[in-house]
Amino acid sequence: MSQHSFDSEELDGYIKIDKYNTEKVDRIASHYTDILECLGEDPKREGLVKTPERVAKALQFLTHGYDIDAAEVLRGAMFEEDYSQMVVVKDIEVYSLCEHHMLPFFGKAHIAYIPNGHIVGLSKIPRVVDIFARRLQVQERLTNEIRDCIQETLGARGVAVVMECKHMCMAMRGVQKQNSVTTTSAFTGAFQNDVTRSEFLRLITADLA
């Protein structure tokens, strides 16, 4: 049976508890001790003594999406509702790790669906984004996974996903282009129609305030 440790922090009147698998923390940390030595560092110096453990915990958090069923999260907040117009949730923050270099990419996701007898609690849409983003990813697959999960779980008349992200593997290394943005999109059903897709794109770029 796996063991877990808990880090707690009080924020605005409630206790935030992070749960870690201690066996995985120890295993990952041991490798990072070797990595620090390979980089020419001294893992025993004051500033690095706890670094392997911190990195191990950070990686567990940044990849915790593997342990969560996104479809189950959606099913837990589905409601019958006679609404057949577009539902748009835009500017959803995205943070993920590129699987090629394990460097971050981050940006925004814009998502819409057209209900077919069921709607879903609005907070679950960003939750689905987080679940798939908290895995080693490429932006193209992440876009499709979000689309497919919402489409298959809700049985929607259509789903649209657009993602805009900056990739640190391009900004910090390689071509070192700091201002480039990668945009990916994926559509199903009604959003494959030019008129419906154009309305969605207009809504996510419009300032409605």
Distance CA 16, CA 204 (A): 33
Distance CA 95, CA 16 (A): 20
Domain ranges of the chain: 22-62, 71-205
* Chain segment 97-118, per-residue pLDDT in tens: 999 999 999 999 999 999 999 9
Residue 129 contacts residue 165 (beta carbons within 8 Å): no
Distance CA 146, CA 127 (A): 10
Give this prediction's pTM.
0.89
Known binding-site residue numbers for Zn(2+)? 98, 101, 169
pLDDT of 121 = 97
* Chain segment 11-29, per-residue pLDDT in tens: 666 776 678 899 999 999 9
Task: Answer yes or no: CATH 1.10.286.10 is held by domain 22-62.
Answer: yes
What residues contact 145, with CB distance under 8 A and at least 6 apart?
132
Q: Which of 160, 151, 165, 149 is CA-nearest to residue 202?
A: 160
* Chain segment 138-196, per-residue pLDDT in tens: 999 999 999 999 999 999 999 999 999 999 999 888 888 888 999 999 999 999 999 99
User: Is the predicted pLDDT of residue 128 greater than 60, yes or no?
Assistant: yes
Sign of the four-CA dihedral 65, 71, 75, 78: positive
- Say which residue the tokens 């609404």 belong to: 83
Q: Which of 75, 162, 149 is CA-nearest to residue 119?
A: 75
Terminal alpha carbon distance of the chain: 52
Query: Mean of the per-residue pLDDT values for the chain?
Result: 93
pLDDT of 1 = 42
Sign of the four-CA dihedral 100, 104, 106, 112: positive
Known binding-site residue numbers? 98, 101, 169
What is the residue type of 130?
A: D
pLDDT of 179 = 84
Q: Which residue would you say has higher pLDDT here, 41 or 8?
A: 41
Q: Which of 62, 98, 95, 73 is CA-nearest to residue 163?
A: 95
* CA 127 to chain CA centroid, nearest Å: 8
Tell me the two tokens of residue 56: 């191990």
Q: 71-205: what fold?
A: GTP Cyclohydrolase I, domain 2 (3.30.1130)
SS3 assignment, position 205: helix
The residues assigned a catalytic role are 98-101, 139, 167, 169
